[in-house]
């Protein structure tokens, strides 16, 4: 079982992933050809020559980017507790002032500003935890970095590892204040010894900095699921789901397959009830703007999250309730079972929850609610909670059941 021993990570539940780099300029299209894969992979997938790809830097001038507004919105409107930005994705381009490689936002672009520094200052101002994504094995710009689905046999990975990867990771840890985590990704052929070196390097500079589950050889500090994969059952220990709102991480102007706010909210609640964190991604445009539709979805989810924070942050994993009730998700903490009502109803009816209640209230307002214990016609336990009339046609609100017992008693279904 992975245990970060860090309360902030256990309590956070909802974080913002930002995939932003030169691929945002191409936005899913190169020389008239559209990619049908994730947009940040376009260099690898279309075999774009490195010299051509590097020239994109000359166009990178995201004048619409405002780190302060970005972080403020993530915290206050979207309810996110930490932010993880791509410091260097597989393309090899550093979004900060790196002394190790000139292929970076300060030296190679007309923008010339250190995006990570701006993010750091904003995160400190709004008291938001900041982490960096770093592609430790794949680097398509470095002749010795790995490339997926390509012949890597002639590459001297150790050289890239010693001369670019480790020195850049060191820069990140030394120059940007407290880093809550480094989100290493796609370890590919990295050895146990190399992984250990990375871990030692990170911890020697910032002992509290966590390493993602993809650091290599399952040696990270917590479990990272597959992209958009949610464990079906409660999963013990600390874990996180990296996830997209549409079907790409980096901006793709053709991808309009946005999940609805209701869908995202139900995914968040499933993850939270099973004990994980939801690291939800935005892919800003080359101008530094989050697509409008994505903002709308995150605003709507954020409204729920901020209004019902007590039922989300710092909650602990629940056991398995025997039934799937359409339109209902549960979360919990000591002596409390939160019932998230995601589709309209007149009352809440919960079969096979064997607890005694000491109270029930609407989380957003504290309004007390009537409840009673019943037996179903078959003799199963049943709790009914009456909902105020003004809620009968509403969805997306949360009811707290105060339990006499510490944990919910989820009874099994009798045949
Ligand atoms: O290859 C990357 C991908 O571009 C993206 O960064 C995701 C995020 O989890 N990780 C890798 C694929 O799993």
| Mean pLDDT (10-residue bins), the chain, 415 residues | 98 99 98 98 98 98 98 98 99 98 98 98 98 98 95 95 98 98 98 98 98 98 98 96 99 98 98 98 98 98 98 97 97 98 98 96 98 91 97 98 98 90
Q: Give the β-pairing of 14-18 and 82-88.
A: parallel
If one residue of 37, 85, 186 were mutated to test the ligand 1 pocket, choosing by the most ligand atoms within 8 A of its CB, it would be 186
- Take atom 5 of ligand 1 and give the residue whose Cα is closest: 249
pTM for the full predicted model: 0.98
* pLDDT in the model for residue 250: 99
* pLDDT in the model for residue 361: 98
The DSSP secondary-structure symbol of 57 reads: G
CATH annotation of 7-311: 3.20.20.80
CATH annotation of 328-403: 2.60.40.1180
* pLDDT in the model for residue 221: 98
Q: In what order do the strands lie in the sheet with 397-403?
A: 328-333, 336-341, 397-403, 357-362
For residue 19, give the ligand 1 atom closest to its CA: 6
Please answer whether residues 411 and 322 qualify as being in contact, where contact means their C-beta atoms are separated by less than 8 angstroms.
yes
Residues paired with residue 211 on neighbouring β-strands, in sequence order: 182
Nearest to 198 by CA among 135, 242, 139, 140: 135
Boundaries of CATH 3.20.20.80 in the chain? 7-311
Boundaries of CATH 2.60.40.1180 in the chain? 328-403
* pLDDT in the model for residue 127: 98
272 Cα to the center of ligand 1, angstroms: 22
In whole angstroms, give the CA distance from residue 96 to residue 28: 23
For residue 138, give the ligand 1 atom closest to its CA: 1
* pLDDT in the model for residue 398: 98
* pLDDT in the model for residue 125: 98
149 Cα to the center of ligand 1, angstroms: 15
Q: What are the backbone dihedrals phi and psi of residue 385, each rounded to the nearest 5 degrees, phi first?
A: -120, 125
90 Cα to the center of ligand 1, angstroms: 9
13 φ/ψ sector (left φ>0, alpha ψ -120 to 50, else beta):
left
249 Cα to the center of ligand 1, angstroms: 7
* pLDDT in the model for residue 415: 80
Residues paired with residue 349 on neighbouring β-strands, in sequence order: 384
């Amino acid at each position: 079982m992975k245990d970060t021993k860090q309360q902030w990570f256990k309590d956070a539940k909802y974080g913002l992933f930002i995939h932003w780099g030169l691929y945002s300029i191409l936005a899913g299209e190169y020389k008239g050809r559209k990619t049908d894969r994730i947009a940040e992979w376009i260099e690898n997938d279309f075999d774009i020559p490195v010299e051509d790809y590097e020239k994109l830097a000359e166009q990178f001038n995201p004048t619409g980017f405002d780190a302060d507004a970005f972080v403020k919105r993530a915290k206050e409107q979207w309810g996110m507790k930490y932010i993880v930005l791509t410091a260097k994705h597989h393309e090899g381009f550093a979004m900060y002032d790196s002394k190790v490689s000139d292929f970076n936002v300060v030296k190679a672009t007309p923008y010339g500003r250190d995006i990570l520094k701006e993010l750091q200052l904003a995160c400190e101002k709004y008291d938001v935890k900041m982490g960096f994504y770093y592609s430790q094995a794949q680097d398509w710009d470095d002749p010795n970095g790995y490339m997926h689905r390509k012949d890597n046999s002639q590459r001297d990975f150790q050289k890239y590892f010693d001369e670019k990867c480790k020195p850049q990771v060191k820069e990140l840890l030394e120059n940007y204040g407290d880093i809550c985590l480094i989100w290493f990704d796609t370890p590919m052929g990295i050895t146990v010894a190399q992984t250990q070196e990375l871990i030692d390097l990170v911890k020697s500079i910032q002992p509290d900095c966590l390493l993602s589950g993809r650091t290599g050889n399952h040696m990270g500090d917590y479990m990272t699921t597959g992209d958009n994969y949610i464990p079906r059952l409660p999963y013990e220990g600390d874990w996180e789901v990296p996830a997209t709102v549409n079907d790409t991480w980096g901006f793709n102007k053709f991808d309009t397959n946005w999940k609805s706010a209701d869908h995202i909210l139900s995914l968040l609640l499933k993850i939270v009830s099973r004990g994980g964190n939801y690291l939800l991604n935005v892919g800003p445009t080359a101008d530094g703007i989050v697509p409008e539709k994505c903002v709308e979805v995150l605003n709507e989810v954020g409204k729920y999250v901020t209004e019902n924070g007590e039922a989300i942050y710092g909650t602990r994993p629940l056991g398995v309730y025997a039934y799937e009730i359409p339109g209902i998700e549960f979360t919990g903490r000591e002596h409390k079972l939160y019932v998230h009502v995601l589709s309209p109803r007149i009352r809440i009816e919960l079969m096979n929850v064997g607890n005694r209640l000491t109270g029930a209230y609407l989380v957003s307002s504290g309004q007390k609610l009537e409840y009673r214990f019943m037996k179903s016609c078959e003799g199963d336990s049943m709790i009914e909670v009456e909902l105020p009339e003004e809620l009968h046609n509403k969805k997306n609100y949360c009811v707290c059941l105060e339990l006499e017992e510490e944990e919910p008693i989820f009874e099994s279904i009798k045949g």
